[in-house]
Structure formats: structure tokens, C-alpha cells
A and B are shown apart, each in its own frame.
Chain A
Amino acid sequence: MFHFFAKHKEETINRKVEELNETIQDCDLTNSLSQNVEILQKLFIDVDVLIVRYIQNSQNSSLKYCIAYCDGVVNSTIINDNIIKPLVLSNVAVAGSNLIDNLMSHVILINEAEKTNKIKDIVESISYGDTILFADGSNEALILNTKGFLTRALAEPDNEKILSGPREGFNESLIQNLSMIRRKMRTNELKIKYFTFGRITKTKACVCYIDKIVNKNLLNELYRRLNAIDIDAVLDTNYITELVKDSALSPFRTTGYTERPDVVVGKLLEGRIAIILDGTPVVLTVPYLFIENFQSSEDYYLNFYYTSFSRILRMIGFFLTITVPGFYIAIVAYSLEMLPTSLLINIASARKSVPLPAAVEAFVMLLVFDILRETGIRMPTSIGQALSIVGALVIGQAAVDAKLVAAPMIIVVAITGITSLLVPKMNAPTIYVRLFLLLLASTLGLFGFILGLSAVLIHILNLYSFGVPQLTINGSLQFQEIKDTFFRAPWTRMITRTKSMTQDVVRMKNDSEGRHD
């Protein structure tokens, strides 16, 4: 009871402070330097990284300034050389009614400076590495760009390694990420629109698209959904994904993600829209077609015969990873007569003294595999060897020798596991679809298996990404619509872009043989 009151009291106080903060934030700056600084210090109470420094001009001691910044997110050299030094040494007559303007134009040596009288703006920018310059006698302040924080070096993304092609990957800085994209496209057609998400984090994000190629309806729909987002924080693009995606509860992806600038540029050029978020290297692309699960950037960088084959392999891999356990159980437990005699005898002799029914065995082994996989992701790299020994020897060999598990089941789980790694973008759907099919197969046999497979197919056919159907092709089947699906056609044949996603389908005016499209 007492605890409740205490908590209640605390909440009340918190709320009061918040209200106070809000009212202070909403008000404007005053003419008094000390008063302005006091407001700022009050807002940043208990925020010890805030540094406030008073400065006086050496020529004219009536010119008093104060700069404030947050330690750790600023570049001190810039502050020393380009703000403090000119402010102290300058002999320009700046005093007067437009003191701040004069400072900006004659004294301060900073590329990006902005005048404001809103406390709110000041709070936001000071947290993000800007320096605030207050001047005595002025009810405005300058926001000076002195951002200087550490960013990760550009490195190849670990989970999107390729054999050949550009190796740089995004890092956590929005501006650097944008620079990487801009560098690849020297055109004013590349539009970059800023957004801010998160009531607390105020995370900067930007929407990129190519004006002439993008489908405007799609763009408007994206804006509508982005504007509807109301959340306290966004730390990764997945927050946005889940807030804007079409079928919110489907395990299948309806937005794409990548950490590679070349992939983003490639997608922009096909009429897609990219959403880049500050603080994460993962960039979102919409709309997202089902086939993109099987596409990789190097499909376009290597010979098309080779990459078409690997793409088909990925599709087979996806099919195998969802169907193999279910199919195996359906055959072994229900439709024995489908097994060739020698296979039947082999499986029967392997299963002879295994205690569990095949279906239970499959569930247990898949669970064990998923545990191993999850451990592999979470553990420190130095324990990797121990894990593979435990996984391979204990669970594989020893379980078979001890007759806990039949050897064919190990093979089934191994095939399932390995093929699931072929399509890393489908990790969530594969797990659930596989279990769904396995469950149906172990209760209804092949019939249930086919039933489940149809249900999954119907579900995928029902998926949309920003109004674009994920799997179906609009209109009649034409080569130009499927040239980049099951196989990757040579560049000489990829004359047009995908119709549903762009307003300008012509990629090549004339194909390489001079024919006009």
C-alpha cells in the first residue's frame, strides 16, 4: 500500500517535471544572456555532459557570448578555431540590433549555421552535436554545426558477403550513408526527403527515390503511412518496417532490407523507394516482391548463366527447407507404399529400435537444430568449435548410435538446416511454414501436407507490398516481366523495368542489337 503511494507520488513528480519541461521548451529565448543560459541549464539538469562556456571579446568587453554544447558529440578543434577564436579576437563591429546576423556573416567560421529563438530547436540540436551560441542582448541564438562523433569505418557487411562487386557497406551515420548513395548517382533526379521519427529519440530518417522512375502513387502511400507513425523511439529500420508493412502479422517480408549502397542504388533505379534511418546501417526498400527473397546483388555482377543457376538453387533450397521434414513424415508414417522397396527396407531397419514415433522425432530434432543455430548466432566466436563438436558428434553420431534417433531423420534435419541458410532473408517464414507443414503432415499425412502447402501458397499470393502484389504478375505473362525472376536474363535483354513499380518502364532505348523496343 505504502509502496503504491510512494510510486504514485513519484509519478506525480515526474509528470510535473515533464510538464515544466514542456512549458519551458515551448517558450522563446529572452534578451538576457544569463537568463537564456539558466533556462538551458534547467532543462539539462542532471545532464552532466552539457558544457557552458562564457566568452568575452578582447576588443570590446561589452560583447559577451556564451557557447553551449554536449561533450563527446562535438569536434573541439572546430569549436576552438572557428567559434571561440574569432569571437574572442574579432574586431568587427557587430553590436546592434542585428547582432546575431552580423555574427553569422562576419565572425563565425562555420559552414552550417542557423538562427533560432525556439528553445525546442536548441534542445534537439545540442543533443546531436551542434553548438549553441548565445549573445548578450539578443533574443536569438545560433545553432552551429560542430558535429564530430565517432562512426564505424566502412566495411563489407558480414551478412551480405558477395564474391565480386562493390564491397563497401553502410555504417550508422545517415549523412555518410547518403553520401555513399549520392556518389553512385550524379543526378538531381535523386530526391532526398528528411523525416523525423520517435518522440524521444527524434531520429532522423530520409526517403530516397528517383523522381522520373518512381511510381508517384506508391510514394504518396508511403508518405501517408510514414506520417501516421507515432512512437517514442526508432532504433532500427525494422521498427518502421513493422509499422508500415501491409500484412502486419504475416511472417513473410513485404519490405526489403540491405546494408549495401549498390543494392540500394540498384533498387532505386528499378523504381523502388529507400528509407534510410540514422543510427542503423540497415536501409529499407519498398515495394518488395517475393522474388527479391531469392535475388542477390551479385546476381547482376557475375555471369548470368552462373547466377541464374544459383538463383534457381536458392528457390529449390527454400522449397526443400519448408517441405522436407513434412514430406518425409507424410511418406514414412502414412504413405509407405510410395517408398521404393530398397529405401523402405533401409529406413525400416534404421527405425527398427527407435523409441519415438517418426513425427515426434522430427519435431524434437528440428527443435534441437534451431537451438544449435540460435546458439551459433549468440555465442562468442571462440566457443564455435565446442558447439560444432557437440552438434555434430553428440547430436548426430551419438544419437544415432544410441538408437535415440534414426539416421534418416538426421539427414532430413541436415538437409532442412543447410537449405534454410540458402535464403537468409526468409528465416522467419521458413521456421513457421516448416513446422506448419510438419504438423499437418504428421496428423493428416500427404493430404495434410498438400493442404498446408496450398494454404501457404494462397497466403503468399495474398501478400501485397504497398499495393503491389508480391507474387502475381499484372496482365499477361511476358518475357520482360519474368526476365529477372527464375533466371537473370543478360543485361542486353533487360530492356524494361518492372511495370507495377515504375512510371517509366524504359531502361534501354535501343537494345544492344539496335532493335527498338
Chain B
Amino acid sequence: MIKKIICMVLSLALLLPLTGCWSYHGLNEITIVAGVGIDLDPSSGDYLLSCEIIDLASTGKETGVKSKIVDSRGATIFEAVRNAKKRLVNKLYWGNAQVLVIGNQLAEQGGVSAAINWFISDAECRETVSIIVSQEKTAKDILTLQGIDNSVVSFEIQKIIDDDQNTTGSIEPVPLYRVYNQLRSPGVCISLPAFHQVINNEKPTVEANGEAVFKGEKLAGYLSAEESKYYLFAKDAINGGILTLSSSEQDNQDVSLEISKNKTKTSYSYKDGRIKETIETNTDVYLDEVKLGTDLLDQREISKLETAAQKKLENDISDVIKKVQTEYDSDIFGYGNMIYKKDPVLWQQLSPKWDHLFQTAQIEVKSKINIVNTSFLKHS
């Protein structure tokens, strides 16, 4: 019997090393990090880390969750993280960090990979942290802003990012692991959501402001929120948002179309040393807001609206692609990657001169818009 028990205990003990992280850490021994901003000190080249931590002391039933900022500096990210402990009672806890803000300057100097490396390799931090770019001077400028909800700004940013694709369609959420992967994939460049400061009701607050386009490691430029929408269309990453048709001549013909479903097909052809990309979008929309004077029961009116919207969408998408081709020369659409996946042999030939090929690629956009709901109430 004793022998049996000893055998049991020993074999159970063998299981212990298989458990991964199982060290005890009490909840009152951690400092919860909500978000972190990474800047570069131009003079010394050190990282400046600003962690937004949850301020448990002033968090209460009436006040809601409050946060404060902890600054630290270090030659590497990890050093900076550990240097923060010198000022803190409890260690920083990264398990629930949600946003990683990259400073404008750091992005322009091109150290994205180096900056995010620790976050992806550390055990505590999640691979699903959202990465954004601060359009202000530093990343800290974003984290020190007060959100409209008057709580932790990192969580507000995360919420804005999460909901954006289905409501406005102006940014594409990019988790940490995708940035890491894309930086190492051939024929694709990263683009990250950009946030800037706006004045709302006389107080500064954060706002999503389109996409930051990177060329390799370096920031190449920004797309506005409106341009980002068409970028999302081209990338087949849009799930919602509004298409607004406004005509300059007749103001009462302005129409809002709510995007319900979109499918974008991209295909390429390579002929005579030129790449031709064909982008076909097929979008179901709801006619949500229409100014007076349109007969919503008239099929011809609807068709007219559809045609107008198709034309506008085709133009806008091509404009954005052209802008990225010519101004930024950054393949954020992943056209090169598409070739790499479909035809690796061809990609081997093309990859050395891909920059040039992408810039000169011919773009053809075909859009199809179906108005599925007209929100028709009554003749008035």
C-alpha cells in the first residue's frame, strides 16, 4: 500500500514541470499595465517608456477606474521596463495590457521591429495587443490625454479600435503578432491605426485618424480616415461604415449608404513586365438616409443611385491605391505577397524589382453595389 502511494506521488510529481507558469502572485502584488507608449530619446537613443497603469488607490465605486503614467528609460525595452520597478512598489503586470503606442519619431526613424520584440517574446504580454501610431509628437502625448469616458485612455482606444471596423470603417485593427509576421513576410508592408489629439467640447481627447503607412520599418506617411476606408475596401477588410454620395450641384441628392457586407476579390496578371491588378468589390448596402425628393419605390431611381455609388467607389479606391503607389511606394495591400503565395516561381523573378513593379502596376477597379434595403417609410 505504502509503495503504491509513493509511486502515485512520484508519478504525480513528474507532472509538475509540465505546467508552465504556475507561480503564485497575489493580486495585491501587481501593477496592472493598461497600455504603453514607446518613444525614442533623440539625444541618447534610449527608449522612453510611458506605461499607463491602473491607479487602484483612487479607483472606487463612485470614481470608476482611474489611471496614471509611469515613465522610465532604458537602452532596451526590457531594461526600461525593469527600470520602472525602481519607482514602483509592485512589479508591472503585462497580462492585461491592451494598447502599444508607437511614437511618431520612433516610427519615422524605423525601429518598429526592435521596439516590439520584447513584447512578443515576453511570457506575460499578450500577442493580441493592438499597436497604434501616435500622430502627436510622442506616444506619451496620446496616453496622457483624457478620454471622453473619463477613464483609462488605453482601454478607450482599444474599444475604439474594436468597434471601428463595424461602425465607421476607418482603421484596421492590427494585433502585435500580425505586425511581427508582416514585417517578416515578403511583398507586404504594414499599416497601423493612427491616433491623434482633437479638441472635443473644449477639452483635448483622442480620435482615430486613419492609417499610418510604413515602408519596411519606417513610417512613410498617413492616410486620412476617409482614404483609409477605401484602403480597407481594397484589402477586403471592411465590415461596416458609411458610403456617402454627395453631389456638388444638387444638395438634396446627398445619400448615406450603410455597408452591410462587402466582398473584394483581387487578381493579378503579369504581362510584358507589367503587373496588372484587378480589384472587384461587391457590396451590399442599406439606403439609410436620403434627402427628400427621391422615390424609393422606383427601381430606376435605385439603379441610378447604385450606378453613382459604384462610380464613386471605383474612383476613390483607385485614388487611394495610386496615392500609396506614388507617394509612399509601400505595398500595404500585400499584392506582392499574393504573388508570392500563388506563384512562388514568378515571385522569385519579380522580387528584386518589386518596388518598381508595384509603383507602375496598372490598377483596375470594378465595383458592384446592391441596395438591399431602402428604409422606405411613406410617401410624403
Binary interface encoding of chain B residues 1-42 relative to chain A, with 1 for a CB under 8 A from any of its CBs, else 0: 000000000001001100101111111101010100000000
A351 near B12: Cβ-Cβ < 8 Å: no
Residue B27 contacts which of A342, A358, A445, A446 (CB distance < 8 angstroms)? A358
Q: Judge whether B22 and A444 touch: CB under 8 Å.
A: yes
Is residue B377 contacting chain A, with contact meaning CB distance below 8 A? no
Residues of A close to B54: CB separation below 8 A = 345, 348
Contact of A351 among B23, B27, B65 (CB under 8 A): B27
Q: How far is the CB of A80 from chain B (nearest CB, A)?
A: 65
Residues of A within 8 A of B12 (CB): 451
Question: Is A349 in contact with B56, judged by CB distance below 8 angstroms?
Answer: yes
B27 CB to closest chain A CB, in angstroms? 5
**A383-434 interface with B by 8 A CB criterion:** none
CA distance A345 to B33 in the complex (A): 10
> Is the pair A447, B22 in contact by a Cβ cutoff of 8 Å?
yes
Q: Report B-chain residues with C-beta under 8 Å of the C-beta of A446.
A: 22
Summed over the interface, the residue pairs from A and B with CB atoms below 8 Å come to a total of: 69
**Residue B93 lies at the interface, judged by CB distance under 8 Å to chain A:** yes
**In the bound complex, CA of A347 to CA of B24 (Å):** 16
The stretch of A280-288, A330-338, A506-514 in contact with B is A330-338
Q: Are B24 and A348 in contact (CB under 8 A)?
A: no
Q: Does A183 contact B (CB under 8 A)?
A: no
Which residues in A have their C-beta under 8 angstroms from that of B21? Answer: 334
Interchain CA distance A470-B60 in the complex, whole Å: 50
In the complex, the answer to whether A348 meets B56 with C-beta atoms within 8 Å is yes
Are B27's CB and A347's CB within 8 A? yes
A354: Cβ under 8 A from any B Cβ: yes
Residues of B within 8 A of A345 (CB): 32, 54, 56, 59, 65
Residues of chain B within 8 A (CB-CB) of A334 are 21-25
| Given A349-B60, A451-B15, A344 contacting B22 (CB threshold 8 A) | no
Question: When the two chains form their complex, are residues A337 and B27 in contact, meaning their CB atoms are under 8 A apart?
Answer: no
Min CB–CB distance B172 → chain A (angstroms): 22
- Within 8 Å by CB of B19, from A351, A358, A445, lies A445
Closest to A343 in B: B96
- Cβ of A186 < 8 Å from any Cβ of B? no
Tell me the bound Cα distance from A451 to B124 in angstroms. Answer: 24
**Which residues of B sit under 8 angstroms from A357, Cβ to Cβ?**
24, 26
| Cα A208 to Cα B208 with chains together (Å) | 78
Give the shortest distance, in Å, between A350 (CB) and chain B (any CB). Answer: 9
Given A336-B93, A341-B98, residue A351 in contact with residue B30 (CB < 8 A): no
User: Once the chains are docked, how many angstroms separate the CA of A251 from the CA of B210?
Assistant: 64
For B8, the closest partner residue in chain A by CB is A455
Residue of A nearest to B26 (CB): A357
Q: Does A352 contact B (CB under 8 A)?
A: yes
A337–B24 touching, CB < 8 Å = no
Q: Say whether B57 faces chain A, with CB atoms less than 8 Å apart.
A: yes
Interface size on A, residues (CB 8 A): 24
Q: Is the CB of A344 within 8 A of B28?
A: no
A333 contact set on B, CB distance < 8 A? 24-27
C-alpha spacing A354/B29, complex, angstroms? 11
Task: Choose one: B16, B95, B98, B155; the contact of A336 (CB below 8 Å).
Answer: B95
Chain A hits for B65, CB < 8 A: 342, 345
Cβ–Cβ < 8 Å partners of B59 in chain A:
345, 349
Interface size on B, residues (CB 8 A): 28
The distance in angstroms between the C-alpha atoms of A353 and B57, with both chains bound, is 10
Partner of A447, one of B19, B93, B155: B19
What's the Cα separation between A339 and B155 when bound, in Å? 15
Q: Is the CB of A444 within 8 A of B16?
A: yes
Given contacts A347-B27, A445-B22, contact A341 B15 (CB under 8 A): no
> Complex formed: what's the CA distance from A352 to B30 in Å?
10
Encoded as 1 (CB less than 8 Å from any A CB) or 0, chain B from 82 to 102 comes to: 000000000001011010000
Q: Say whether A444 contacts B56, CB under 8 Å.
A: no
Query: A378 to B361, alpha carbons, bound, how many Å?
Result: 87
Q: Which of A294-348 contact B (CB under 8 A)?
A: 332-334, 336-337, 339, 341-342, 344-345, 347-348
In the assembled complex, the CB of A381 is this many whole angstroms from the nearest CB of chain B, namely 37
Residues of A within 8 A of B23 (CB): 334
B150-207 contacts to A, CB under 8 A, are: 155
B28 and A354 within 8 A (CB): yes
Given contacts A337-B96, A451-B15, contact A352 B22 (CB under 8 A): no
Contacts of B124 in A (CB 8 A): 337
B-side contacts of A336, CB under 8 Å? 25, 27, 30, 93, 95-96
Task: Report which of A344, A353, A445 forms a contact with B96, defined as CB distance below 8 A.
Answer: A344
| Nearest CB of chain B from residue A441's CB, rounded to whole Å | 11
| Contacting pair B28 A341 (CB below 8 A) | no
With A334-B23, A444-B19 known as contacts, the answer to whether A352 contacts B28 (CB < 8 A) is yes
B120 to chain A, nearest CB (A): 16
Which of A336, A339, A358, A445 gathers the greatest number of chain B CB atoms within 10 Å?
Answer: A336
B247 to chain A, nearest CB (A): 46
| Segment 123-169 of A: residues with Cβ below 8 Å from B | none
Bound form: Cα–Cα A446–B30 in Å? 19
- Chain B window 207-248, contacts with chain A (Cβ cutoff 8 Å), 1 for yes, 0 for no: 000000000000000000000000000000000000000000
Q: A333-B24, A333-B26, A336-B25 are in contact. Are A348 and B32 (CB under 8 A)?
A: yes
Would you list which residues of chain B between 247 and 279 have a CB under 8 Å from chain A? none
Give A447 to B21 CA distance when docked, in angstroms.
Answer: 10
Q: How far is the CA of A348 from the CA of B54 in the complex (A)?
A: 10
From known contacts A337-B95, A341-B98, infer whether A352 and B24 are also in contact, taking CB-CB under 8 Å.
Answer: no
A377 to B32, CA, bound (A): 44
A344 touches B26 (CB 8 A): no
Interfacial chain A residues near B15, Cβ < 8 Å: 447, 451
Q: 8 A-B pairs, CB-CB below 8 angstroms?
A: A334-B21, A336-B95, A344-B96, A345-B54, A348-B27, A348-B56, A445-B24, A446-B22
Q: Knowing that A339-B96, A345-B65, A348-B27 are A-B contacts, what are 9 other residue pairs whose CB atoms are under 8 Å apart, sorted by A's residue number? A: A332-B27, A333-B25, A334-B22, A336-B96, A349-B59, A351-B26, A445-B22, A447-B15, A447-B22
Q: What 10 A-B pairs have minimum CB-CB distances, sorted nearest first?
A: A337-B95, A447-B19, A445-B22, A351-B27, A341-B96, A348-B27, A349-B59, A349-B56, A352-B56, A351-B28
